[in-house]
Amino acid sequence: MRNRFQKILATLATTAAIALPAVSASAQDVIKVGILHSLSGTMAISETTLKDVMLMLIEEQNKKGGLLGKKLEAVVVDPASNWPLFAEKARELLTKDKVAATFGCWTSVSRKSVLPVFEELNGILFYPVQYEGEESSRNIFYTGAAPNQQAIPAVDYLMENEGVERWVLEGTDYVYPRTTNKILEAYLKSKGVKDEDISINYTPFGHSDWQTRVAEIKKFGSAGKKTAVVSTINGDANVPFYKELANQGIKATDIPVIAFSVGEEELAGIDTKPLVGHLAAWNYFQSVDTPENKDFIAKWKAFTKNDKRVTNDPMEAHVIGFNMWVKAVEKAGTTDPDKVIDALIGVSVPNLSGGYSTMMPNHHITKPVLIGEIQEDGQFSIVSQTPGLVVGDEWSDYLEGSKDLIADWRAPLSCGNFNVKTGKCGGQGPVAQ
């Protein structure tokens, strides 16, 4: 009852809010593209922007003459931050609307919820957010960062450049922080960090009273060794966390905080002056100084008609994913999922940081890793960039049980969890659900 009520209201409100691009072409000469992002509920804060990016990309592609001579049509659905509804909406997109590809999801639990649907109905999903790895599906293309494309380079940076010896791994209590922290803990120990120099802590979703935690971090950090916080705190909990850091006077020069879920969009809601110097690791920052990026930012501001709108990493992931899909469809000459899935592997498109990203056989892409420091204007100053591109590693090399697994979706292997020790397909990681 409650669900239906909520759904009706949400759809009513959102259909009023979103003007679908009016593409009035007959069914034969359009290719439908599904957009599966929450436009209401808790995740709307992050996902609405991604919906807008997709609409912009599709509009642009149509201006260029569409794809295979057909117009693209966006089908926007609202899964309302409700995980089971994600699966329902995915099924609707694939069976009713018969979309050629879907771009969507933010949280890992929403991705896990739609995964069986995409596998059953043989759809294509592009997933644009950094995640914990330990998964590779034939029907999903992961354009966000795997842990080795974000977490591990970030820790390396802190060790080398800040001389950090003591670590607080602070996260929200769900699958992404827990898995990432497990990988990081194993990695740190392999680098000789002792048990007592690692403190792992989890707080609930939307945690807003950070006084105790921040005081404890301060205490943990005053043991004489250089300390840093690795934050996998999600979404809304970040703002009160940073406000408390600022209030208790923890400066980046004392205890730097490096975050994996804080980008330009999240900082837009905070006064960043007390946070200057705290870090974030991403594969893209709005401050990346390349002509491609300047062009993209200008287009984005024009599309949203708002000069203050910022860009962020998952947006870039959608740009890369969309361009890869377009290229693969052109290569295959059809939108048939099997042919496109095969054609996607090896496709290379320019990313916004001046290089080329390639889709690898494990359905992850190559990306540069950037470390940025928060500036007074809410942007990041890039202080480190990997010299080359890093290949996304779906099964972590630092976890028992998944370090022997690889994914390769090319024939004849065609397997998402091939165990190189036993030579069999079907190994399972210890933490994959």
* Interacting residues with other proteins (CB under 8 A): 2, 5-6, 9-10, 13-14, 16-17, 39-42, 44-45, 48-49, 161-162, 173, 201-204, 206-209, 211-213, 215-216, 218-219, 222-224, 236, 239-240, 243-244, 246-249, 252-254, 256, 265-266, 268-271, 274, 277, 279, 373, 381, 383
Cβ(56)–Cβ(62) below 8 Å: no
CB of 147 to other proteins, least distance (A): 23
Which is closer to other proteins, CB of 140 or CB of 310? 310
Which is closer to other proteins, CB of 93 or CB of 258? 258
Cβ(56)–Cβ(14) below 8 Å: no
N-terminal to C-terminal alpha carbon distance within the chain: 29
CB of 263 to other proteins, least distance (A): 11
**Rounded CA separation 152/422 (Å):** 28
| Burial state string for 115-136 with b = 16 or more CB within 10 A and e = fewer than 16 | bebbeeeebbbbbbbbbbbbbb
Which is closer to other proteins, CB of 240 or CB of 416? 240
CB of 384 to other proteins, least distance (A): 9
Q: For residue 39, give Cα distances in angstroms to 49, 106, 367.
A: 9, 12, 28
Which is closer to other proteins, CB of 277 or CB of 361? 277
Cα angle 342-28-77, degrees, rounded to a multiple of 5 = 70
CB of 327 to other proteins, least distance (A): 31
Return the SS3 of 143: coil
Which is closer to other proteins, CB of 26 or CB of 253? 253
Cβ(425)–Cβ(412) below 8 Å: no
CB of 277 to other proteins, least distance (A): 5
CB of 239 to other proteins, least distance (A): 5
Which is closer to other proteins, CB of 217 or CB of 415? 217
Q: In what order do the strands lie in the sheet with 140-142?
A: 71-77, 30-36, 101-104, 125-127, 140-142
DSSP annotation of 376:
T
**Rounded CA separation 222/212 (Å):** 16
Which is closer to other proteins, CB of 273 or CB of 424? 273
- Strand pairing class (101-104; 227-232): unpaired
CB of 20 to other proteins, least distance (A): 15
